[in-house]
A and B are shown apart, each in its own frame.
Chain A
Amino acid sequence: QKEVEQDPGPLSVPEGAIVSLNCTYSNSAFQYFMWYRQYSRKGPELLMYTYSSGNKEDGRFTAQVDKSSKYISLFIRDSQPSDSATYLCAMSARVYRETSGSRLTFGEGTQLTVNP
């Protein structure tokens, strides 16, 4: 079983819709949670970062972490065609050792298309 599970989609929504992207995980040691966005033929770039449980909002994007359920979400409000990309969740454990703390575990990625 994978440590991080993410529905790969594809997900297609009309412009202006609210989008919900989700990941579940099994490793209770994960403390740092991130969402990366990857446009076609580009490398991933960090979109949102959350430490431990709670919500974080940045413009049209909201990241939620529920550690009790081992579940994280990314919400996109008023979605735009420019949001069309693959969204990857990523997470890592608290640093106990110099080398192990720097690893991220990624979900498979969800491909999102926002139609004008």
Chain B
Amino acid sequence: DVKVTQSSRYLVKRTGEKVFLECVQDMDHENMFWYRQDPGLGLRLIYFSYDVKMKEKGDIPEGYSVSREKKERFSLILESASTNQTSMYLCASSLNPHGNNEQFFGPGTRLTVL
């Protein structure tokens, strides 16, 4: 079974802190994604990566950066956390662009910024 794990289920941070969210997948997938999920807005893509050290902006990249130094690990960084970044963050991975593009999701990290 594909497994996508996220470093924390719940996280509370203060405004201005630097926040790291880690995601690891164990099935050698090329693609990895970071989304945030908010009521009334659904899933919105922040960044994705199609290879090690490669990244592309999604629909809402402002205030975020990412790092992919190893194939299995994709990190989301909030350089200076703000209250409007309070959200559920979901990581996903998929095998490659060819085929059905099924994405496998982690359990999510609920981040609260005070």
Q: B38-53 vs A: 1/0 string, CB under 8 Å?
A: 0011110100101000
**Complex CA–CA separation, A88 to B49 (angstroms):** 23
Within 8 Å CB of B54, what residues of A? 99
**Complex CA–CA separation, A101 to B94 (angstroms):** 11
Within 8 Å CB of B106, what residues of A? 43
Checking B42, B45, B94, B96 against A88 with a beta-carbon cut-off of 8 angstroms, the contacting residue is B42
**Complex CA–CA separation, A70 to B108 (angstroms):** 31
Within 8 Å CB of B96, what residues of A? 102
* Tally of contacts, chain A with chain B, CB under 8 A: 65
B12: min CB distance to chain A, Å: 16
**Complex CA–CA separation, A103 to B4 (angstroms):** 18
Given contacts A107-B42, A109-B42, contact A34 B108 (CB under 8 A): no
* Max count, chain B CB within 10 A of own CB: residue among A6, A43, A51, A109: A43
Question: Is residue A42 contacting chain B, with contact meaning CB distance below 8 A?
Answer: yes
Residue in chain B with minimal CB distance to A109: B42
**Complex CA–CA separation, A32 to B98 (angstroms):** 11
Within 8 Å CB of B43, what residues of A? 44, 88, 106, 109
